[in-house]
Chains A and B, each alone.
Chain A
């Protein structure tokens, strides 16, 4: 019997894991609840990726072609995990949906990713009330579909504000962590916006700018130096509306003092939360969550993909907010960890 591994979730992390596992000699089943592959990148049609402005659709094509062409990988879209039992280190996994069958697996990689924080949960931003208040993900979809216009009246926005840390770093909403990518993604989006809106006033309302590592100059500085974007240090307490335009009520903490400034378009840099699928799978496969609700890495430093349940591995945003590059890298890390785990047990 060949050794088979199940990958749950077909975002960047899961797709990478599937391909690498197959290269290592395993038979792989990829289970994805949606009808499409590619996770968040496909769902929101990211066109241009942070940090290197490479093409989102091209990345997807690359990741998806590899798994589609691989005879050792079975792709089950529209399929969910119903039930899991385990006996002598073999998981017996019952699926439902498009491929309702039961599969034996020697190891499992959870790549179930994240959900966007829904800003409607935090009333102060007026999301869902004012049409010109959108999320960063919705801005990505706008980039994909056509020119940027104000949802309220179809006009070209003359001013755009980004609000950072929406649903992150905030005890009031219960998320005390930083979502890590939204600062850099917002900077990237502002640079893209500038190409379309040469005259617009673009302002970023931040608490800290966390374009860490190599993203400092390539994104943060570039947005200021080349795109003329303005950074205002202060959190927004309320979005209201006046004369059909959203108004930001905030404090400029550097010059000190409150402001109320109108903008044509507001982009909320909504953070990442563990996806519902991540919670579901953690329960079914009996792995612990860490204090923020992501899958707990048993040895964070030693190996990013180990959970506290032998045979169950994790990759990507399921174990915490991270960028695509890290999610893909972790797809490989998890594959090697699976190899390490199984080579002692099964002769290939």
Chain B
């Protein structure tokens, strides 16, 4: 039976507000089944603020306290206009009001920021909104890694690996590694891909991709990065 099906005005509740157990015995009384339907308290009573500290102390999240909640960032945001749940202003609000429950619930929404920086460019308070959202995203990576699905994780790891190895990104390499990691290697050899490969051979892009090179003194920068990573 659907969750909470016995509740009148069921439409006012979301699934995660409803607790229901197939088998439950309380004080020796068996209340299995519909009898034990309970609602979680809707009152938020325990602000969790360690994430706020983590974010404001991070290099990219430091400007979070500048925010005046005006909504300019969401108003111009690329993703917000596609996904109504995506709302950088509100993510900042949740951080500052200790709503880790909401942040975690919406982790996969928050991770969808495309890094276009429109928000940062518009913000009247010079919040670096794009990077604050990234900082929130990074906190979520640490807090709820299990919420990242496999494709997401593979994508993440691919970028990280490429960047740490070469100090720069190349689209063909990114795509190859991503498909490799997700076990979709055969997609590299479709007719379309082969056509592209031939074209790239001819115009020389293949060479640039194979011998991508590294920035000057990359090993030193890499050391700093892996140090931060640790």
- List A residues at the B interface (Cβ < 8 Å): 124, 165, 169-172, 207, 233-238, 249-253, 256-258, 260
B60-78 contact mask (Cβ, 8 Å, vs A): 1 or 0: 0000000011111111110
B69-90 contact mask (Cβ, 8 Å, vs A): 1 or 0: 1111111110011001001011
In the complex, how many residue pairs between chain A and chain B have their CB atoms under 8 Å apart? 67
Using a Cβ–Cβ cut-off of 8 Å, how many residues does chain B contribute to the interface with A?
23
Contacts of B74 in A (CB 8 A): 251, 253, 256-258
Nearest-neighbour CB distance to chain A for B95, whole angstroms, equals 15
CB <8 Å contact, A249 and B71: no
CB <8 Å contact, B124 and A236: no
Tell me, in angstroms, the Cα distance from A251 to B91 when the chains sit together: 14
Contacts of B84 in A (CB 8 A): 257-258
Nearest-neighbour CB distance to chain B for A208, whole angstroms, equals 9
CB <8 Å contact, B80 and A235: no
CB <8 Å contact, A235 and B87: no
Nearest-neighbour CB distance to chain B for A205, whole angstroms, equals 10
Contacts of B125 in A (CB 8 A): 171
Nearest-neighbour CB distance to chain A for B116, whole angstroms, equals 13
CB <8 Å contact, B72 and A237: yes
Closest to B127 in A: A171
B22-54 contact mask (Cβ, 8 Å, vs A): 1 or 0: 000000000000000000000000000000000
CB <8 Å contact, B124 and A250: no
Contacts of B70 in A (CB 8 A): 207, 234-235, 253
Nearest-neighbour CB distance to chain B for A13, whole angstroms, equals 29
B122 contacts partner chain A, Cβ-Cβ < 8 Å? yes
CB <8 Å contact, B81 and A258: yes
B123 contacts partner chain A, Cβ-Cβ < 8 Å? yes
B126 contacts partner chain A, Cβ-Cβ < 8 Å? yes
Contacts of A260 in B (CB 8 A): 81
Nearest-neighbour CB distance to chain A for B187, whole angstroms, equals 35
CB <8 Å contact, B75 and A235: yes
CB <8 Å contact, B75 and A237: yes
Nearest-neighbour CB distance to chain A for B79, whole angstroms, equals 10
Tell me, in angstroms, the Cα distance from A169 to B71 when the chains sit together: 14
Closest to B87 in A: A256
Closest to A170 in B: B124
Tell me, in angstroms, the Cα distance from A234 to B87 when the chains sit together: 13
CB <8 Å contact, B71 and A171: no
CB <8 Å contact, B126 and A237: no
CB <8 Å contact, A172 and B80: no
**9 intermolecular pairs with C-beta atoms under 8 Å apart:** A172-B122, A235-B71, A236-B75, A237-B118, A249-B75, A253-B69, A253-B70, A253-B74, A256-B87
Q: Pick the contact of A235 from B72, B90, B121, B126 — CB < 8 Å?
A: B72
Contacts of A252 in B (CB 8 A): 71
Tell me, in angstroms, the Cα distance from A169 to B69 when the chains sit together: 13
Q: Pick the contact of B80 from A124, A170, A171, A251 — CB < 8 Å?
A: A251
Residue of A124, A238, A257 ringed by the most chain B CB atoms within 10 A = A257
Contacts of B76 in A (CB 8 A): 237-238, 249
With A172-B124, A234-B71, A253-B71 given, name 6 new contacts (CB 8 A): A170-B124, A172-B121, A234-B75, A235-B70, A235-B71, A251-B73
CB <8 Å contact, A250 and B75: yes
CB <8 Å contact, B68 and A124: no
Nearest-neighbour CB distance to chain B for A258, whole angstroms, equals 5
CB <8 Å contact, B75 and A256: no
CB <8 Å contact, B124 and A251: no
Nearest-neighbour CB distance to chain A for B121, whole angstroms, equals 8
10 closest A-B pairs (Cβ-Cβ)? A237-B76, A237-B75, A251-B71, A170-B124, A251-B74, A253-B71, A234-B71, A251-B75, A235-B72, A235-B70
Nearest-neighbour CB distance to chain A for B101, whole angstroms, equals 17
Closest to B68 in A: A207
Q: Pick the contact of A256 from B73, B81, B90 — CB < 8 Å?
A: B90
Nearest-neighbour CB distance to chain A for B3, whole angstroms, equals 25
Contacts of A250 in B (CB 8 A): 71, 75
Contacts of A234 in B (CB 8 A): 70-71, 75
Nearest-neighbour CB distance to chain A for B14, whole angstroms, equals 16
Nearest-neighbour CB distance to chain B for A264, whole angstroms, equals 21
Tell me, in angstroms, the Cα distance from A79 to B73 when the chains sit together: 47
CB <8 Å contact, B90 and A258: no
Contacts of B126 in A (CB 8 A): 171-172
Contacts of A169 in B (CB 8 A): 124
Closest to B122 in A: A237
Nearest-neighbour CB distance to chain B for A231, whole angstroms, equals 14
CB <8 Å contact, A251 and B89: yes
Closest to A175 in B: B124
Nearest-neighbour CB distance to chain B for A151, whole angstroms, equals 25
Quick one: which of B81-125 are within 8 Å of A by CB?
Answer: 81, 84, 87, 89-90, 118, 121-125
Tell me, in angstroms, the Cα distance from A249 to B69 when the chains sit together: 16
Known: A256-B87, A258-B80. A233 touches B122 (CB 8 A): no
Contacts of A233 in B (CB 8 A): 71
B154-169 contact mask (Cβ, 8 Å, vs A): 1 or 0: 0000000000000000
Tell me, in angstroms, the Cα distance from A253 to B80 when the chains sit together: 13
CB <8 Å contact, A124 and B122: yes
